[in-house]
Amino acid sequence: MLYGLVETTDNNPLVCADTFSVPSPAGTLGALALAPLFWAGIVAEQPILVLHAPEAESREWDALFGPDAVDVRYETTTVEGLYMGLAMAVVSWNLEDGPVSGLYDEAFGRSFFVERSIGPLKPELVLGKAKAVYTLKQTSDGDKSLLTIQVIADKNGKCGAAQVVHALNVMAGYEESLGTELVTL
């Protein structure tokens, strides 16, 4: 069985898979914030991830990043219908190597449902929409950088039913965005 985000899974096995499981809302936010760093193998210290989303089981974090790889903390959600995450990570990377945003562009740049925001994150960017939006700030000191990654998503969008529909569309060979528009009442 395959597990993860459509954006981080190779389409060939996904199209041939009998089953595919997507992360919980907390796991989705965590994967969006930290997966590009873990794939690149540049995480220098245990990242801290603060989530405003329902708690995920610890085995989900193990499946995404490995045992005890991330210090996950939960806070109360303050915006109805919106899930949020804030990650801070020290990585072996400096600005002379270029911005670390290239890793995120490689992971999510072609996605219909994940985009980077240059400005501040505002609820209206995602509420009632199927996408997640993230910001990335990099501060370097020598051969290390401190990254601050913020991510937000609608609880029914990228953190909910729209993500499942997206995965089903890819598995079935349909247009990726078919049926992912959220209906607001």
Can you give the pLDDT at residue 123?
94
From the number of C-beta atoms within 10 Å of its C-beta (0-12, 13-18, 19+), residue 148 rates as: middle
* Helix (H/G/I), strand (E/B), else coil: 6: helix
| Polymer length in residues for the chain | 185
pLDDT tens, residue by residue, 16-58:
888 999 999 999 999 999 999 999 999 999 999 999 999 999 8
Within the chain, what is the greatest distance between any pair of CA atoms?
Answer: 51
What Å distances lie between residue 55 and 108, 126, 161, CA to CA? 24, 21, 18
Q: What residues are paired with 153 via a beta bridge?
A: 83, 132
Enumerate domains of the chain plus CATH numbers. Answer: 2-172 (3.30.360.10)
Can you give the pLDDT at residue 185?
37
Any residues with CB less than 8 A from the CB of 92 and at least 6 apart, and which? 42, 43, 44, 143, 144
State the virtual CA torsion across 90, 95, 101, 107 in degrees, nearest 10.
Answer: -70
The pTM (predicted TM-score) of the whole model is: 0.93
Q: Is 128 left (phi over 0), alpha (psi -120 to 50) or beta?
A: left
pLDDT tens, residue by residue, 106-134:
999 999 999 999 899 999 999 999 999 99
| Band of residue 177 on the pLDDT scale cut at 50, 70, 90 | confident
Q: By C-alpha distance, which of 63, 23, 52, 37 is closest to 149? A: 37
Q: What residues are paired with 150 via a beta bridge?
A: 86, 135
Element (H, E) at 28: helix 25-40
pLDDT, averaged across the chain: 91
Q: What angle do CA 158, 180, 37 make, to 5 degrees?
A: 30
What gap in Å lies between CA 138 and CA 96, rounded to an integer? 12
What gap in Å lies between CA 136 and CA 128, rounded to an integer? 23
